[in-house]
Chain A
Amino acid sequence: MAPVFDYAPAPESRSVVDIASSYGLFIDGEFTEAADGKVFKTVSPSTEEVLSEVAEAGEADVDRAVKAARKAFEKWSALPGSERAKYLFRIARIIQERSRELAVLETLDNGKPIRETRDADIPLVAAYFFYYAGWADKLDHAGYGADPRPLGVAGQVIPWNFPLLMLAWKIAPALATGNTVVLKPAETTPLSALFFADICRQAGLPKGVVNILTGDGRAGAALVAHPDVDKVAFTGSTAVGKQIARTVAGTRKKLTLELGGKGANIVFDDAPIDQAVEGIVNGIFFNQGQVCCAGSRLLVQESIHDELLDSLKRRLTTLRLGDPLDKNTDIGAINSAQQLERITSLVEQGEAEGAERWSAACELPENGYWFAPTLFTGVTQAHTVARDEIFGPVLSVLTFRTPDEAVAKANNTPYGLSAGIWTEKGSRILAVANKLRAGVVWSNTFNKFDPTSPFGGYKESGFGREGGRHGLEAYLDV
């Protein structure tokens, strides 16, 4: 037999990023220890290697950071928009210049493949800063009245699935509109936010405009509850989002929430099959499925179910799982042991409830947190795997017979963040998209992001929009 075309390892160099052994909190333009001296470790999910030790913010630190942001707000909000734009453009350019370093860092800390950080995350991070830099001096023309005013201090809490991209989604519009921020990155992925703090210093951003507090949920809760925070923005789980909503209820704080999802990816029988297969793969296996807008429910027209599933399974066997720093890796590590446990337990529940499990045959590395691309067939609306957000590389396959049934099933979820439609018929795309209750509906593509396009949810997927002109509203007094 002829030798197989076995791709030799092509690892990206780690030497482009210099991770310090410890990091402090970034408050008022300086790195500082936590008031009570507490620290925690951040590990690389693909190897379980400890990358660094970071300070754990307590209530006193939250208070310090909010005060710094409050003080900086006076000058920052008084700057002409064109001046604020200069800083944002500068930050965007530094991100581009340091893109390789940031991509490697994000891959180390998060576990996602370098292909994604290099080709998707970091370019989008720069794009969001460029986009909102462009708005900073045009707020009068954004449709929110003449001379709309910023809100004040924004307390922002972001998740671990797209650490730097979510930071960009939060910080770029906040700064463009004249707010100052205190941001808490996720406990398992604090490093890129700390590197961003360094970028702020490199850009000469005035002290206190951006403050970064590393820590766990308690720091986030303290930030959200702080009386001098004017605006709370959160991306993360629906459960935490509900807690935040309760905390903020009855206060003057403005709130936006980007929460969970259980996106439906609807494939009609006249779809471009090969491209639909790619879209399904991109919809659920991008970032190991740890995407709130993932297309985690595949709704296939019954007449092409078998054909499509054959194609999909064949395609999944070509996915390459392993070292996320290897440029040929498609599937990286699950972000944490805790998340892996959640995925595993939901998959076991799916099997116990009688759905048929199929996993791609791939060898899982010994260390680190891994889960093979998996799909469930024979799933109905009553199965847990069709209802709960798994937040992992697990696809549930359901069928439908008519467009109405597809719409009914797609909407039959407590969530409403994203959906996809695959068909060659343009009129059907428009007709179905109008009936889907989801913040984003992609047609003949999936998981595509652009700073000009607003993103947000219906129902338990949250409220408020990020990105686009609409994204400005969350940070303006309108």
Chain B
Amino acid sequence: MGGKKIVCRCNDVTVEEVEALIDSGVTDIEEIKRLLRIGMGPCQGRTCIPIVLSILARKTGKRQEEIPLPKARVPTRPVRVEVIVGGADE
């Protein structure tokens, strides 16, 4: 594993990648989300968003409560397509 610190397990994003993006001037969490795909995997950000918030707070000097959460998307958990479209009706 060699010291690689993972922030997002769905999309394999590291602490270093988040920090580098913030250092390049991208500090809006909606933008960080889309560029690194944090919060866009099947877990919908349950693991990564709180970690990214804390990194963002530390790097920008803001309080975590001041940083808006990125918009969550439905469904909150993955749903099999056939559950939505119904049984084999072809």
Whether chains A and B associate is: no
